[in-house]
Amino acid sequence: MGGFSVAVCGLIGMLITRRHANIPGASYFFLFLVAAGFYGPFICIVCLIGNNLAPSSKRAVGMALLISIGNLGGICGSNIFIPAQAPEYPLGFGVGIGICSAAVIMAFVLRTAYRKENEKRDRFMEGKTDAQVRAMYTDQELLDLGDQSPFFRYTL
């Protein structure tokens, strides 16, 4: 959430400096904020996918989808930064602000959902030993449950 918030600040700054005053120093400063805000969260997103998908087959597909969709950024960028709007690019910066804002909101929603799911599983396990819960399932059923297993906890 922090990284994308920095990117939003940088994009707003780029939108303002490009529209009202072509000040190269300010534009470069805001461009550094945009870059830091976009690249910083990537490691967190990869770790989030890697830690919160199970079994390994589901994790592999999730990681592949993440990287494949992430590589479409160049295609999207070439269609939202329209040459006719140069040098202000209101559509490009506006879409960037919208996507980063949505990412901050969705990160909060995902964190809340994972916390609630972990609490639900903790309530289920309350007063039970691991052996009692394992007696309710076969080893294969626990493996097949993956991230739905009562023993699985989402990483926040």
pLDDT in tens, 23-55: 778 889 999 999 999 999 989 999 999 999 999
| Residue 78 within a domain | yes
- Contact of 58 with 34, CB cutoff 8 Å: no
Domain count for the chain: 1
pLDDT for residue 85: 92
| Residue 36 within a domain | yes
| Residue 125 within a domain | no
| Average pLDDT score over the chain | 92
Confidence of residue 87 (pLDDT cuts 50, 70, 90): confident
| Residue 143 within a domain | no
| Residue 100 within a domain | yes
| Residue 49 within a domain | yes
For residue 110, is it left (φ>0), alpha (ψ between -120 and 50) or beta? Answer: alpha
Owning domain of residue 47: 2-111
pLDDT in tens, 3-29: 999 999 999 999 998 877 667 788 899
| Residue 134 within a domain | no
